[in-house]
Amino acid sequence: MAYLYLAIAIIAEIFATTMLKDTNGFTIILPTVFTILGYIIAFYMLSICVQSIPTGIIYALWSGFGIIGIAVLGWIIHKQVLDWPAIAGILLILAGVLVIKLFSKCS
């Protein structure tokens, strides 16, 4: 069940961070509200996860999948361009997340 909460935290953080660009420095109300709610949900779900999953593993998975999700959504929604070094770095992050999830005895 903790990994379901972690998945919700990751999705909420990706959503909130993606909406952050649309807040225009927190001057546009609806994206600002969505951003704040997304972060509240993300951190609440993380607070549940730390009861049964090691914090380092949670943070590695949360930040790794978050970086990948935000980069992909930034490319799709905001038309942000990723150069080859950025893509290579993201793939290395994905590889690291997969190693942790698939091979770590802590997860």
pLDDT at 57: 86
The per-residue pLDDT for range 47-65, each reduced to its tens digit, is 999 999 988 889 888 988 9
pLDDT at 20: 93
The domain segmentation of the chain, as residue ranges, is 2-103
* CA–CA distance, 9 with 28 (Å, rounded to integer): 24
| Ranges under pLDDT 50 in the chain | none
pLDDT at 39: 97
pLDDT at 101: 79
Number of neighbours of residue 68 by Cβ within 10 angstroms = 17
**Phi, psi (5° rounding) for residue 21?**
-60, -35
Residues across the chain: 107
pLDDT at 30: 97
Number of neighbours of residue 59 by Cβ within 10 angstroms = 14
